[in-house]
Amino acid sequence: MAVVGIRFDESAVGAPFAYDQSLVLLSFFIGVIASYATLEAAERLRGGNGGSNVWHSISTVVLGGGVWSMLAIAMLAFASPLKRGYDPVMAALSGVAIVCAAGLALWIMRACTVRGRVSWIYVALGGAVLGVGLATALYASIDAVRVAGEVVYRPALFAMSVAIAFAIAAATLWLAFSPTQWWQRAAAAIAMAMAFSGMYRIGMAASALVASSANAPVGLRLSEPIAAAWIALPTAGAVMIALIAAYFDRRRELDATYEMVRVRKEVADRTANLQATATQLDAALAHAERASAAKSDFLAGMSHELRTPLNSILGYSHLLSSGKAFDPLTPKQAAAVQQIDQAGRHLLSLIDDVLDLARVESGRVPLSVGPVELAPLIEEAASMLQPAAISANVTVHTDAAFRGLFARADRRRLLQVLINLLSNGIKYNKQGGSVSVSCHDIDGEARIIISDTGVGIPAQHLADVFEPFSRLAQDRSAIVGSGVGLALCRRLIQAMRGLIRVDSQEGRGSTFTITLPIAVEADQVAPKDMTARTTVLYIEDNPASVLLMRHIMKEIADVELVVATGAREGLELARGLKPGLVLLDINLSEMDGYDVLRALRADENTADIAVFAITSNALPRDLERGVAAGFDHYIAKPLDIPQFIAAVDVVLAQPPARRAKRARVRREQPATRAPAPIEMIGFKKPSPFGAAASLLASKLTPTRTEKKPAPSAAKPLPSTAPTSNIPPAG
């Protein structure tokens, strides 16, 4: 019986044959190493890494080439008494068949792994494809042997060999795409080689070589051992390359896994450390907040306790020196009073330095930023310190080249900075030295340059120039200072969105440069003329403060001071007298000043009265509370008497109708009203040169300006420019 050219005969008897055992062993060895390399390469392929296509090609070549080499060497091991040759075309076709089948089967299995599991459907389909290739390669190899006779196949053994080929193919693919250990892969490779050998033996048993003298052998005549060596060496080389590549790829993968584990552990450790650090920071922050609250309470208490006696000391020294409230002093008495005044001012400057710096650093300093003409401001600062410069034999030059140059700044704070820098230039200068101040428009920025010919700053101390409480090695010098002046200058300039820098050479002087944004000139509004004065009610339970206020009010003409020593008495007097101004202490015994203010605002008869808070509570939070409460001014003790008198003049100069309208607007629009304008008025800190102190105080008298309201709009609240304590230079 013949099927597609293949003759089958179960009873066929062929010529006897044998095997070259050395070539059989070589074939088995090739099968083992090729199977193991196939499993290793397939594991790399199963990993689905970026080189999957490369490992697909390697697996195809190793599996297909290994099986073909095994079969080819096994055919060379076939020994028969018949003369034989080898058909190279048929041998090549057998190799192409198994390589193509291996490539297609592995591709099918790759599709299986993409879906995350090994499916028996894919194993069966891939096994069928690879089984066809194995059977084709086996019988094409047998057919490649040309003998003087005819090949007849026994149907039963033929079918068995084909079935074994399909089983081996399915098992090979299942093992290749199942996770295994190296020893499992080694055992599987031996089993696969034995299965391939068994398939070959059954295939050979199914073949019967029937001798025939009519057919002479055709094809190549080869030396079997030499041909086997030529086949085995390249195959073994390819297998070793695949194994080496798989080894290094596995090492790379293990290294990557180890690194990933290490990184995860490190991230976990760092996360734990960060969490622990965050917990510590939270605890430290809570501790710092408690310490800050304790510091604020301490400063509030100390400020209150120190300012109350200083109020009397400085107030009476001023009144004694003025010669109006008391009899004129003798020269010796005047000198003694001047010493008292200077010592009190110095003590107050130390208190204000710390409080002012704390306020600026906390970002709570009140600023009124607007257009400021620089040339007049520079000349004003220079004129204030002219007596000190004359006393120190230092010349002050002003070169305001750009008159009409305006910068966006807070005028009072910028003046404070200029006084600090000029004062430093005078203090740390030499006899006959000079200080020059100029302003320029450079690259669209306003720059103020202050240069001196003094001692300069050592290079090692330049980095600490603007640090608080750093006196730059001047601690042992005779020049007094608190060490916060330059730190205040930098904080204030930065708050006005400017920059300040210093260049200095030891022994040759220093140059400070202030850079501010340029602004346009602001509209000038002239202050209103003062009108008639009226009654002033002072609610205060401290007899010393009451006595001082009586003397101060004698300096103001046409003002009658009425004193209430208790809160309830003060409320009754306010309702009955309707004074033009109420001076209110915060720390009263019956009820505090805020309760009194609320009671005044709630009563229709007293809601329109201007109220000044006069208190020793001078911390930033106290000022903020006063702003929120609605005081017209918040005046800190000890009083700067000229400023206080000027503030009283401004309020009493406003027509009652104007004040009433302002109050009514505040009551009728509670949801949109702004808090009442407020000032922090205190003693101006003196220049350390004595003679300039009175001039400085007179120059810084606060003024109140008002703009005319638009015809169709409600009249706005009166604007009060906040005053501030000006510290001396560091």
Ranking 27-31, 41-45, 89-93, 550-554 by mean pLDDT, the lowest is 41-45
Q: Any idea what the CATH number is for the domain that residue 395 is in?
A: 3.30.565.10
The reported pLDDT for the residue numbered 110 is 76
Identify whether residues 56 and 191 lie together within a single domain: yes
Tokens of 535: 């009654």
* For residue 590, pLDDT beyond 70: yes
Alpha-carbon distances of 263 from 270, 277, 546, 590, rounded to whole Å: 10, 20, 74, 68
**Domain-terminating residue out of 460, 495, 519:** 519
- The two beta strands, 704-705 and 719-720, are antiparallel
Tokens of 43: 């594991």
pLDDT, one tens digit per residue, over 142-180 is 877 777 667 778 888 888 888 988 888 888 878 877 767
pLDDT, one tens digit per residue, over 637-677 is 888 888 888 888 888 877 554 444 343 333 333 333 333 33
The reported pLDDT for the residue numbered 111 is 72
The reported pLDDT for the residue numbered 245 is 79
Q: Which residues pair with 443 in a beta bridge?
A: none
Tokens of 118: 């090994």
* For residue 214, pLDDT beyond 70: no
Question: For the chain, how many residues are written?
Answer: 730
Tokens of 81: 């008494």
Q: Looking at residue 280, what DSSP letter applies?
A: H
Q: What is the mean pLDDT of residues 615-635?
A: 84
Name the amino acid, one letter, at 622.
Answer: D
ω before 366 within 30° of 0 (cis)?
Answer: no
Q: Cα-atom radius of gyration of the chain, to the nearest Å?
A: 53
Identify whether residues 556 and 495 lie together within a single domain: no
Q: Rounded to an integer, what distance in angstroms lies between the CA atom of residue 16 and that of residue 14? A: 6
Kindly state whether residue 420 falls inside one of the protein's structural domains.
yes
48 pLDDT tier (thresholds 50, 70, 90): low
C-beta of residue 85 within 8 angstroms of C-beta of residue 146: yes
pLDDT, one tens digit per residue, over 56-97 is 888 888 888 888 888 888 888 777 666 677 778 888 888 888
Q: Comparing C-alpha atoms, which of 637, 615, 610 is closest to residue 625?
A: 615
Tokens of 163: 């079935």
472 pLDDT tier (thresholds 50, 70, 90): low
| 124 or 357, higher pLDDT | 124
Give the percent of the chain with pLDDT over 90: 7
Q: Comparing C-alpha atoms, which of 599, 590, 679, 588 is closest to residue 633?
A: 679
DSSP E strand stretches across 115-244: 145-147, 149-153, 207-211
Angle at 337 between CA 336 and CA 338, to 5 degrees: 90
Q: What is the 3-state secondary structure (H, E, C) of 519-570?
A: ECCCCCCCCCCCCCCCEEEEECCCHHHHHHHHHHHCCCCCCEEEEECCHHHH
- Taking all residues of the chain, what is their mean pLDDT, rounded to a whole number? 75
Kindly state whether residue 714 falls inside one of the protein's structural domains.
no
C-beta of residue 707 within 8 angstroms of C-beta of residue 650: no
**Domain-terminating residue out of 259, 275, 299:** 259
The owner of tokens 């044959």 is 17
The reported pLDDT for the residue numbered 698 is 35
Q: How far apart are the first and last CA of the chain?
A: 121
Secondary structure class of 584 (helix, strand, coil): strand
* For residue 601, pLDDT beyond 80: yes
The reported pLDDT for the residue numbered 516 is 93
The reported pLDDT for the residue numbered 694 is 35
Kindly state whether residue 542 falls inside one of the protein's structural domains.
yes
Alpha-carbon distances of 267 from 256, 270, 271, 280, rounded to whole Å: 16, 5, 6, 19
C-beta of residue 456 within 8 angstroms of C-beta of residue 507: yes
600 pLDDT tier (thresholds 50, 70, 90): very high
The reported pLDDT for the residue numbered 708 is 37
Secondary structure class of 681 (helix, strand, coil): strand
Q: 279 CB contacts (<8 Å, ≥6 apart)?
A: none
Secondary structure class of 445 (helix, strand, coil): strand
pLDDT, one tens digit per residue, over 439-456 is 888 888 899 999 998 888
pLDDT, one tens digit per residue, over 577-587 is 889 899 999 88
Name the amino acid, one letter, at 382.
Answer: A
Owning domain of residue 59: 2-259
Identify whether residues 80 and 8 lie together within a single domain: yes
Secondary structure class of 10 (helix, strand, coil): coil
Identify whether residues 29 and 83 lie together within a single domain: yes
- φ and ψ at residue 649, rounded to 5 degrees: -60, -45
Q: Rounded to an integer, what distance in angstroms lies between the CA atom of residue 59 and that of residue 56? A: 5
Identify whether residues 7 and 91 lie together within a single domain: yes
pLDDT, one tens digit per residue, over 248-260 is 777 877 888 888 8
690 pLDDT tier (thresholds 50, 70, 90): very low
Identify whether residues 485 and 591 lie together within a single domain: no
Kindly state whether residue 173 falls inside one of the protein's structural domains.
yes
Q: What is the mean pLDDT of residues 121-131?
A: 85
Kindly state whether residue 591 falls inside one of the protein's structural domains.
yes
Q: Rounded to an integer, what distance in angstroms lies between the CA atom of residue 38 and that of residue 59? A: 5
Kindly state whether residue 291 falls inside one of the protein's structural domains.
no
Helix (H) or strand (E) run with residue 438 in it: strand 434-442
Identify whether residues 505 and 575 lie together within a single domain: no
Number of domains present in the structure of the chain? 3
- 49 half-sphere exposure, CB direction, 13 A CA radius: 15
**Domain-terminating residue out of 220, 235, 259:** 259
Kindly state whether residue 536 falls inside one of the protein's structural domains.
yes
The reported pLDDT for the residue numbered 514 is 93
Identify whether residues 112 and 253 lie together within a single domain: yes
The reported pLDDT for the residue numbered 124 is 86
Secondary structure class of 727 (helix, strand, coil): coil
C-beta of residue 684 within 8 angstroms of C-beta of residue 725: yes
| 42 or 165, higher pLDDT | 165
Q: Rounded to an integer, what distance in angstroms lies between the CA atom of residue 476 and that of residue 644? A: 38
Secondary structure class of 176 (helix, strand, coil): helix
Kindly state whether residue 47 falls inside one of the protein's structural domains.
yes
* pTM tops 0.75, yes or no: no
Q: Comparing C-alpha atoms, which of 298, 44, 71 is closest to residue 168?
A: 71
pLDDT, one tens digit per residue, over 508-545 is 889 999 999 988 654 344 444 444 447 899 998 888 88
The reported pLDDT for the residue numbered 612 is 92
Secondary structure class of 512 (helix, strand, coil): strand
Identify whether residues 195 and 250 lie together within a single domain: yes
Identify whether residues 201 and 58 lie together within a single domain: yes
Burial class (CB in 10 A: 0-12, 13-18, 19+), 227: middle
pLDDT, one tens digit per residue, over 569-579 is 888 888 888 89
Tokens of 676: 């009442």
The reported pLDDT for the residue numbered 196 is 83
Identify whether residues 448 and 540 lie together within a single domain: no
pLDDT, one tens digit per residue, over 272-321 is 999 998 989 988 888 887 776 676 666 666 666 777 787 778 888 878 87
* For residue 1, pLDDT beyond 60: no
Render 320-362 in DSSP notation, one character per residue: HHHTSSSPPPPHHHHHHHHHHHHHHHHHHHHHHHHHHHHHHHT
* For residue 726, pLDDT beyond 60: no
Alpha-carbon distances of 34 from 29, 103, 178, 543, rounded to whole Å: 8, 15, 18, 112
Burial class (CB in 10 A: 0-12, 13-18, 19+), 624: middle
Identify whether residues 473 and 586 lie together within a single domain: no
Tokens of 388: 């000190």
